[in-house]
Structure 1
Amino acid sequence: MLVIHQNKQQKRPGKTSLRKLAEVSIQPCFTLFSHPKEMATSSSSSSSDIGVILNELTCPVCSELYKEPTALPCGHSFCRVCIEKSWENREEDTGCVCPNCREVFPQKPKLKKNVIVANLVENMKLKEGKVGLEVEGQDAEHGDVNVKEGMKSGGSESYCELCNGEAAKRCVPCEILCCEKHLKLHQQKGHKLVDPGVKIEELRCIEHGKPILLYCKDDESLMCITCTGGEHQDHKIVGVEIAHAELRDVLAAKYPHVSKSMRSVASKLRQVQKEEEKTENCSRDAEDSLEEKRRLVCQFVNESVDLMKSEINKRKMEKLSLLGKQREKLEQQMEDLRQRKSTMDTALQDLEAISFLQGSKDLLKRLETMSDFNSVKRTPLPVLDFSKEEKNLDKLVTLNKNFLEKIQKGPVEHPEKVEEAPVEHPEKVELDQNNLRRLYGRSLSLDPNSAHRRIKISRDLRTVTGTGTRNHYPEHPDRFDCLDQVVSRDCFSSGRHYWEVDVGSSCWWGIGICLNSMGRKGGKSGLGMNPESWCLSKCNNKFSAFHNKQRTSLSVPGDHERFGFFLDCEAGELTCFGDSRVLHVFRGNFTDPVKPAIGVYVDGSVHFVHLVK
């Protein structure tokens, strides 16, 4: 039973109480159009007329009751303030536009007060001010609760606006959130219900702001009741529920075909995945086999070279021994000749004939006792000739080069046959810098966050320059704080990589690699001065290899400006090149992430060379 009480205080309620009054007293327009059988009954009720009147007394701009309603020449009315602001906020100077019908007025029309509408608004406010709403017992609209004016959930989007309970649905035509208890009457009247999080604006016509109830099949667009009188007048229009059901039927008819296609594609996908796994396994097995063959080939070459070097040293020592004996005899002969010449010089300086003749007999006897310098004959010794052994190695290198060229031209048709001929294995070619540059060349860049403050990094992140002065770099845990060093941004833990470094005329530098986990603080962070780094170094024209404070002197003829580095992570080797020859080979566990590193310890520049394969 709906009970209407006279308020003791004449309070002018706002839009909220008007909205409640309309909700209690009228049947929403959504229900009228969704249920044609109820249309006649509802149209005869006075409460429906009140709802229509209330809607007509609302400003389309602010959705509030008109405040000083003003009519435009097109017939539409707005609050004077609303229409004035609407024209003030327009971005383009295209005249004054009606916000409702979009009619354009080239000049600002003279605004006149709509007296009839203003009187209706005042009467509605007076009537509402005299009436307070309180529902006792069974609420005619919202069920078994009391609904009082202004009862809201504090603006929350998750609570029922009638009892502050947890909201289950939102009623579209009533524009309120309802709990399960208060949904019953809305469901009985066929109101459209949506989830609480759905925005009402998305369910309203963009052009007219009214609920979307219809669907145009010709244009495949959603529309409200007002849209039927426009461009959709002769189109085929159905309710949204009917269109929904028809579309569901269409999708349901296509569903088996899509499911069948999915099963077919899934089957093919499984086949591809199996083939990928098989390819990975075959590739892994082939690489393991090639690695073993490379080890054998390298071992064979290393043993051959070591044996030849041993034989060279043996023959060298034998020849040097014979040459030493000849040298000693020739030196003795030279001493005898020197004494003979000294005696003759002394005799020839004596100008007195008598004196010269007196000593000549003794002089001739002394000369006769001297050994004859022609008595020592130099026997020719055999030349050290290893041309035959070198030709054998040249044949091996040539075979490897030919094999590499075949691989570069295209895929090998029968890799298993290649494995049967380890002499043609391409790994030996990796020691040639041109092939290394072409196959594994890398263009590295420096990490500015690791640079010591006494060095400067170029903009292209390739050149390191020692400045001797401290630069203002921000603090960073990766920055070296003691030694003038920097590491690369690139980090390697697998595969093969080759890069080159141009040292120019720098006289003191260190180049190599370090574990990414190597400390960057203190004196122990020097390249080659700890177990986590390996370094090729030049200091005062002397070259050395450093690792864990162990120094190995290197013989580097000439003054090279470019050095190459080949890192084979799986083999655990770092090969250092200078002028196309191997200077040193470091060995270690390079499957842990390592980074190339550079140290410039005096003024000068060193930079990574940009390699183009």
Structure 2
Amino acid sequence: MASAADLRDELSCSICLSIYTDPVSLPCDHNFCRGCIETTWDTQEASGAYSCPECRQEFKERPALPRNRTLRNIAERFLSAEPEPGDTGIPCTYCDSHVPAVKSCLHCEASVCNKHLRMHSKSEKHVLIEPTLDMGHKKCSVHDEPLKYYCWEESVCICESCCLPGEHRGHRVELLSEASEKKKEKLRKVLEKLRPEREREETEREAQRLQERRREVAEKAAGETERVTALFRDIREQLEALEKRLLRDISSQKEKLSFTLTDLMEQLEIKKDELSRKIRHIEELCNMADPLTVLQERESHGAADNEGGRERHDIKVPAVGDLDVDLISETLLTGLAAIVTGVKGRIYGQEATDLLLDINTAANNVSVSEDRKSASYSHTELHYPQSPERFQLVPQALSSRSFPSGRHYWEVEVSESEDWGVGVAFPTIERGGDQSIIGNNKKSWCLYRWDKNNRYTVAHDRKDTHLPHAPSCSRIRIWLDYEAGRLSFYELSEPIRHLHTFTATFTEPLHAAVYLHDDGAWVRILK
């Protein structure tokens, strides 16, 4: 059965923590005092949204507040049944149960009314406190004496016997009243720090900013959902169109072959009929008794009347073509490739299919392939022509193409051992010294692979971030959204794994960049 304390909790407003006054109900079925919820919503009005203090459900418009009459009646009855001021609800131990106690004695462990209080012993052993049913927490658990002092070293309340030479000897001990006042003073200082309007206003502003951020995320998610849905709808339409085209091609080839075969079958039937007619005619001649008629027959019937001759009547069926499966397969692959290319264009924007390395930027210890797609570390000096764009000593190179705007991606294949780096850089990056290493300055961003710990590391402005991922694939995709200020790295494993995304404000065109640390390191641009 619920106690009075439990019932009080159920009938208390969670804002003011008091019994409901004019309770109202929200659309989410939570109840509050009308004045409490209206004051709360007045502070939320600037944010443009209202929420329930209990479940945080939001309402775009300020809801109506219908009065909860049933809850009001219960609250009023509960209040009327509560004891009057001064009535503790604890009965006198020596009187009838309806006589309230005004004090409790820790020594006697009894509660007394005014009448018995006058008769109670005035001895110091009899410590009187406010009426209570639970006197255990008011007495020392060791000596069973009233708690009178507070030990600051142990942060516990103690009795008089605890102060005798023993475990609290030498400790700072004060009367409970004095210690209580000092603790109250500390709490007041804490309260003063929490109370200023500035703190509350800043908290409210932070809450509004988070709420705005949540709305932005929701809007972006809705936009991406719509974009992906439209993309897949378009892909399905293109696939259905390709399927219909292939089925039409197969049906057309089948009809052409069927027509040819039907024509040949008709020709064979004619030859078959002609052969049957000849056979019947020859049989008739063979059965004739008149030799003159047999010999005067001039029709060419293939009789073997030439010396040693024999005429064959074999029927030759001309070769008939088959379905052009290669053409069907090529149409299928070409169609699918066109769909994939279109999808990539819609996702990534302009594709960096012509990305080449600029040999004029390659350091003398970087060997660039003839097609300018690959770079590898060269232990011997290559003695390239002098160029102001060329990196000095640092084994790296930039692409000839730059990206001043738009969305792009390119893929690279990298050596599975030794150290390498791939990323992007502004054209104004330094060309000599450690400050020119990509990722080691404010003008470049890089993904590294270090062989010594077989881990990925990303770097920018001399700040390294070690990633938890161990390399599991030799192909890396780099994705750039210039306007959004996003540079992402993906490992083209199965499944594709996102490694890291830089966010920045790009102020110059970006060039693809490669770094080769030592012998055996190489990078090849795939597309």
Flag whether TM exceeds 0.5 (same fold). Answer: no
TM-score category (smaller protein) = 0.3 to 0.5
Which of 1 and 2 has greater Rg? 1
Structure with the larger helix share: 1
**What TM-score comes out, normalization by structure 2 length?**
0.38
